[in-house]
Structures are given as C-alpha cells and as structure tokens.
Amino acid sequence: MNICFLMYPWEEIDPENDTSLAFIHECVKRNHGVALCTPANLTIRNSVTNAFCTVINRMEKVPSSLKSFYKQAVTREEMLPLAGFDVIFMRANPPLDPIMLNFLDSVKDDVFIMNSLQGLREANNKLYTAAFGDSHSNIIPATHVSKNKNYLVNQIKDSSADKMILKPLNGFGGSGVILIEKSAMNNIKSLLDFYVTNSDGTSNYVILQEYIEGADQGDIRILILNGEPIGAMRRIPGSDDHRSNVSAGGSVAKHILTKQEKALCKQIGPKLVKDGLHFVGIDVIGGKLVEVNVMSPGGVTYMNKVYKTKIQSKVIDFIESKVLDKLQAFDRRSRLRNEVENA
C-alpha cells in the first residue's frame, strides 16, 4: 500500500513524541510506500491534482525507536499524483485550510482519506460538539458562541458559576484558552475586545463555556478509532498554567475509562463513523465532552509509554482493512462488468 501523510514538514517533527511519526514508522516497518506533503505543496498539473512530496526511501532494516528511525531515514523530493496513493492520512495541524479540501475533492473517490472531507468540514472547529447536545443529553457543558460582546458579558453576569472558560473558536493545542472569574469583571470587556475584534475591523467568534468542577485537575484525552475507544490518558496542568495540553506544559498519566466515559464514547461513536471521522481524539472533563479533535489528534506516543502498547498498529490495521475493502469492491465490480460485456 502507498500512503501519503498530509501534514507539517518532516523537519518539524518531534522525533521522540510525535504521533504522526509513530504512524509513519509503523507503515515503513510494514514495507508500505510512504510520502509526506504539506497543504502548501498541493498543486495541479495538466488538470491532475499532484503534490510536491517528501518520499521516505525504503529501508533494509527499520530501527525500532522513533528517534533512531527519524535520524536514519533518507528522503527524496518527488512530484506525485495524489490519486496514485491508496490512502491520504490527514495529519495537518488546525486551523483547517478550506483550499486544501478543494484540492482533495478531486481524488476523494479514488483514495481512502482519513478522515473524510465532509467530516473534516463539519467537525474541524469547536462547534461540532454542539451536535451531541440536545434537550435529552447532558454530555456537553453549557456553551455559548458569539461575536456579540454585550451578549457574552451578560452570559457571564447571569451565570450561577463564579468561573467560566473563554477560548477562540478556531484555536488548537490549548492556545488562547483562559479562565475568567466574575471577581475580575472589570477586565472582561477588554479581554473580549482582544479576542473578538481584529485590527482591520473584522471580528472573530469566541466560545464561552461552563467551567466544569475538577478541570483544575486536568482532562482526559480519549482516542477513538472507528467509533470505539482505543486509548486514554489523563492530562495534568503544569504548576503555573490551567491548561492541561502537553504542548502547554502539561504532563500525562495513566487513566482507565470510567463507566460514564465509556457511555459517552458509545453515545457519540455512531455519529463519528457516520460522518467519516474514523480517527479522532476527544477531550473529556467530569464525564462531559469538551472538544472533538479530527485533524491531527495526538497522544499516541504518550499512551504507548504509559500502557506499554502500540496504538499505531491498531490504526494502520484499520487503514489496511479499508484499502482491502476498496480493492475487493473494485475487483468485484470489474468482474461483474466483464460478465455483462461478454454476455
């Protein structure tokens, strides 16, 4: 199988902790052809969608450690047609580039894309979690999304809680997430000015969310493959930061899913599969769904260390099964067409 990772540049990989590198390493070990390209390197040549790719040369002996593999891997640059790959594995960092999806639209019927383009369009920002909240569900915290600063101020004033979470709609990796308190109302309007209003006069949506008790103890990152949880870890905030993201200085610890968390995964799993979101990372606090990460969910290397497992093997097994299904369906269709032609 030939797989293209649509992601950040090879030289920006963290060789010790990078989830994308764990997937690449697993593919190379299985003797699959592997290439990487960034969204900026997509191009069209003679009406065919191509990419300027970094291709990893095949190795006679693949080092067992990610760090050694990254150091010893030899790459070359090639322009390659995307429809020639069996798989495109989305690992680009947020925010989502809509032009990138327009390029991929031309090959979505030829290549298995993880995750699906429609799913990415629907779920790439933090509004997607609202799809799981209704009058019969209590799995998401009370959430307000708006550009209207007066409305947001009133929601803070009317809240029965002393604290709320404020974050940009298109943030990622914990960037821009702050804890606000009613005792500091004098600062709220200036904060909203900063978050909502741009220097060019345009404005941004922000999320104002119920503060969940226990959030100061961290959150739970759960990786879900084809609707089923395959790994989890507790992310613990650093001593001087309320955010638990590892990229923001948080640490990780082992976590066994609670009954409530298992029920949450069971509830949202079917919709994730229906939307073509086969590999996602969800963030849970106090049994409530806070975020769904669909572009480049991380945590695999940390979970592997804590649990002495290889989550990447399960993910690549799944991708191989999807490619096999696609090939078998094509072969069956070809045989049936030949029967009709020869009748």
One DSSP character per residue, 13-52 reads: --TTT-HHHHHHHHHHHTT-EEEEE-GGGEEEETTEEEEE
| Residue 259: Cβ within 10 Å count | 8
Entry pTM: 0.88
Run of H or E including 149? helix 149-158
Q: What is the pLDDT along the chain (343 residues), one digit of tens a residue?
A: 999 999 999 999 999 999 999 999 999 999 999 999 999 999 999 999 999 999 999 999 999 999 999 999 999 999 999 999 999 999 999 889 999 999 999 999 999 999 999 999 999 877 888 778 665 468 888 888 999 999 999 999 888 888 999 988 877 767 788 888 888 888 888 889 889 988 888 899 999 988 888 888 889 999 999 999 999 999 988 655 544 555 545 688 999 999 999 999 999 999 999 999 999 999 999 999 988 999 999 999 999 998 999 999 999 999 999 999 999 998 998 999 999 999 8
**């019969």: which residue's tokens?**
136
Residue among 105, 71, 66 nearest 88 (CA): 105
Backbone angles phi, psi at 309, to 5 degrees: -130, -175
The domains located in the chain, with CATH, are 2-114 (3.40.50.20), 142-210 (3.30.1490.20), 216-312 (3.30.470.20)
Q: Which residues contact 191 (CB under 8 A, 6 or more apart)?
A: 166, 178, 180
276 touches 217 (CB < 8 A): no
